[in-house]
Amino acid sequence: MCPICKNQNKIIKRGFYRRPSDQKKVQRYHCKSCKISFSDQTYAIDYRQQKRWFNQSCFLTLCSGVSQRRTAYIFRVVPRTIARRVKKFGEICEKNLEKYRDNRAKANEVEFDELETFIHTKLKPVTIPIAVEKKTRKVLALSIGNIGAKGHLKQISIKKYGRRPSERLPALKSMAKDLQKCLASKANIGSDKCPLYPKLVRDYFPEASHHTCTGSRGAVVGLGELKKTVFDPIFTLNHTYAMFRDNLKTLSRRTWATAKRKDRLLLLLNIYAWFHNLWLDRKRAKPKLEVFNC
């Protein structure tokens, strides 16, 4: 497909070139209507990369509770390379998730809630609404938004960083909007008893039935989401949250590796969400990062 006119018919093959980094032969093409040339690499995930050999292992490592700096150390590259990969992988995974939502069968049972973490310091908390399909544990939609600090941190936070406008509702709405694409109209939606949720569900999923159960906030130490002995009605969700926290270094509790930027944290979340969905299908194929074609 031509990158400019998106036409598939007026394309001819036009020789090869040998890629310097790994000596691979790459097919070139020419579009007769735009008079431009492109190659198999134009749409590849390693387009214009030099160190393409570690892409797959980097993807797995980043989703296995290893910090970006340590990933750089393991693969003998500079941290900047990993930061660039995070950006690239995050964009691919975001698109993959979007395509996945559009093309999968409609989900009937979904649970959603918010995961709380922070950017840089506990004075700048963020909320991460995530929707999970109950039966398969697959992540369907996620989003991120700033929220104000709570408790005794509230005054300190306002003094130091000023008032942070709460983006909780916009984040929830963006998650709900994405979820609309892959949810059956008469679906069952489960969540905890947050007062914001009933209206959100009514607005975005008017025909769905909404069940709430008493949720308890995660403990500070340990896997808060799973640290319970009683029956947990939103187990699927909490289990997924625990997996997010365990496998993304920036989300783990009491960590040094805090996220520094909200947009980069969202990229990491998208990478993990996509990895998580592939991981659940691991009997079919080993998790591998590629452009998702359904």
Burial (CB < 10 A; 0-12, 13-18, 19+), residue 151, is: exposed
Q: Quick check: 139 binds Zn ion (CB under 5 A)?
A: no
Rank residues 42 and 258 by Cβ distance to Zn ion and give the closer one: 42
Q: How many CA atoms lie within 13 A of 62 on its CB side?
A: 32
Of 36-75, binders to Zn ion (CB under 5 A) are none
Rank residues 31 and 139 by Cβ distance to Zn ion and give the closer one: 31
Q: Quick check: 26 binds Zn ion (CB under 5 A)?
A: no
From the CB of 34, what's the least distance to Zn ion, in Å?
3
Number of residues that bind Zn ion (CB under 5 A): 6
Stretch that binds Zn ion, among 28-36, 51-59, 147-155, 243-251 (CB under 5 A): 28-36
Q: Quick check: 29 binds Zn ion (CB under 5 A)?
A: no
Please give the Cα distance from 191 to 111 (Å, whole number): 6
Q: Quick check: 2 binds Zn ion (CB under 5 A)?
A: yes
- The closest of 93, 70, 92, 94 to 82, measured between CA atoms, is 70
Q: Binding Zn ion by CB under 5 A: which of 29, 31, 118, 178? A: 31
Rank residues 14 and 106 by Cβ distance to Zn ion and give the closer one: 14
Distances (CA, A) of 142 to 40, 49, 97, 174, 175: 32, 29, 10, 8, 5
Q: Quick check: 5 binds Zn ion (CB under 5 A)?
A: yes
Q: Is the dihedral of CA 51, 56, 58, 62 positive or negative?
A: positive
From the CB of 6, what's the least distance to Zn ion, in Å?
7
From the CB of 9, what's the least distance to Zn ion, in Å?
10
Rank residues 37 and 57 by Cβ distance to Zn ion and give the closer one: 37
Stretch that binds Zn ion, among 13-21, 34-42, 49-57, 191-199 (CB under 5 A): 34-42
From the CB of 3, what's the least distance to Zn ion, in Å?
8
Q: How many CA atoms lie within 13 A of 24 on its CB side?
A: 12
Rank residues 2 and 189 by Cβ distance to Zn ion and give the closer one: 2
Stretch that binds Zn ion, among 29-37, 45-53, 113-121, 253-261 (CB under 5 A): 29-37
Q: Binding Zn ion by CB under 5 A: which of 34, 153, 158, 226? A: 34
Stretch that binds Zn ion, among 33-41, 69-77, 154-162, 216-224 (CB under 5 A): 33-41
User: What is the number of other CB atoms lying within 10 angstroms of the CB of residue 220?
Assistant: 8
From the CB of 80, what's the least distance to Zn ion, in Å?
34
Fill in the per-residue mask, 252 to 281: x = in contact with Zn ion (CB under 5 A), - = not in contact. ------------------------------
From the CB of 256, what's the least distance to Zn ion, in Å?
49
Site residues for Zn ion per CB under 5 A = 2, 4-5, 31, 33-34
